[in-house]
């Protein structure tokens, strides 16, 4: 079945540094890749997404890249700030079902 | 717009008891998901509805879990009987249109503790 692997499970960076989180997916039919941020005790919230017809997308300090051949996609956060500290989840979805499968999460800590 | 509403926020039950969770999706959203999120893990899809029909329930433990979405709006998820390993946050999410990969909006979740 569909599977999404996410690495690393934890990531600590100094404020101002960049952070990169990587995911791989198993189903080549996946065509939508959202990233969610979940703060402690709160609901997951979408921060950026990318569709399979695009290789890269950027929104201010956040960017996502997609390599369909390798079935990899990554989240890049530049100029990290303490408020970026949270758990980040990648996900993959197939267009014909909208079935949204999540990765295991990355706990990002940004130290001042 | 109003978000996805879930109730209750917290529930503590003894093993072998039954429990039900309720979800009211964003108005007009056709797709509704129930996820189980065990502490420290990613959300695991339990069941997905398109209006009032089931699209996917392959990960739903059907011997104890059941879900329905009457009239294609509100949904309930039931566990009967509960086991200790069911302790988790149960998240409901909805998205606007099926088969177009639109954003899924999550509710606050119901934190279930089975003792």
Q: Is B95 on the interface with A (CB under 8 A)?
A: yes
Hey, how many other C-beta atoms are within 10 angstroms of the C-beta on B20?
A: 15
The pLDDT assigned to A95 comes to 64
Please give the Cα distance from A36 to A40 (Å, whole number): 13
φ/ψ of residue A83, rounded to 5? -70, -10
- Both ends of chain A: CA-CA distance in Å? 41
Touching A: B residues 54-83, CB under 8 Å: 55-56, 58
Please give the Cα distance from B107 to A27 (Å, whole number): 27
Contact A46 B35 (CB under 8 A): no
From the list B55, B95, B99, the residue facing A95 with the nearest CB is B99
Q: Has residue B1 got a pLDDT over 60?
A: no
Which residue ranges of chain A lie beneath pLDDT 50? none
Q: Are B36 and B46 in contact (CB under 8 A)?
A: yes
Strands A86-94 and A100-102: antiparallel
Q: Is A8 on the interface with B (CB under 8 A)?
A: no
Q: Which residues of B touch A103 (CB under 8 A)?
A: 42
Please give the Cα distance from A21 to A33 (Å, whole number): 13
From the list A31, A42, A104, the residue facing B42 with the nearest CB is A104
Instruction: List, for residues B52-101, the tens digit of each pLDDT value.
Output: 899 999 999 999 999 999 888 999 999 999 999 999 999 999 998 766 67
- Nearest chain A residue to B31 by CA: give it: A98
Instruction: List, for residues B16-55, the tens digit of each pLDDT value.
Output: 999 999 999 999 999 999 999 999 899 999 999 998 899 9
The pLDDT assigned to B98 comes to 65
Contact A100 B33 (CB under 8 A): yes
Contact A104 B41 (CB under 8 A): yes
Q: Output the six-digit token pair for B70.
A: 């009457």
Which sign, positive or negative, has the C-alpha torsion A48, A1, A39, B35? positive
Contact A51 B101 (CB under 8 A): yes
The pLDDT assigned to A8 comes to 97
In the three-class reduction of DSSP (H, G, I as helix; E, B as strand; rest coil), residue B64 is classed as coil
């Amino acid at each position: 079945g569909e599977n999404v692997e996410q690495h690393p499970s934890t990531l600590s960076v100094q404020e101002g540094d960049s952070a990169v989180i990587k995911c791989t997916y198993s189903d080549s039919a996946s065509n939508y890749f959202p990233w969610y941020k979940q703060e402690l005790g709160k609901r997951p919230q979408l921060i950026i997404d990318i569709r399979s017809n695009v290789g890269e997308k950027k929104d201010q300090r956040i960017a996502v890249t997609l390599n369909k051949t390798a079935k990899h996609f990554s989240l890049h956060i530049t100029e990290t700030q303490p408020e970026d500290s949270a758990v980040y989840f990648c996900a993959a979805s197939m267009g014909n079902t909208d079935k949204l499968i999540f990765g295991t999460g990355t706990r990002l800590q940004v130290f001042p | 717009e109003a978000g996805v509403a879930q109730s209750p926020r917290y529930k503590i039950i003894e093993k072998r008891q039954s429990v039900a969770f309720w979800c009211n999706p964003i108005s007009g959203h056709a797709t509704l998901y129930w996820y189980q999120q065990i502490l420290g893990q990613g959300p695991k899809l339990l069941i997905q509805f398109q209006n009032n029909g089931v699209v996917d329930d392959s990960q739903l433990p059907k011997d104890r879990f059941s879900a329905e979405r009457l009239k294609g709006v509100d949904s309930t998820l039931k566990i009967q009987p509960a086991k200790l390993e069911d302790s988790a946050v149960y998240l409901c999410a909805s998205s606007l249109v099926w088969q177009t990969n639109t954003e899924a909006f999550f509710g606050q979740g119901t934190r279930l503790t089975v003792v």
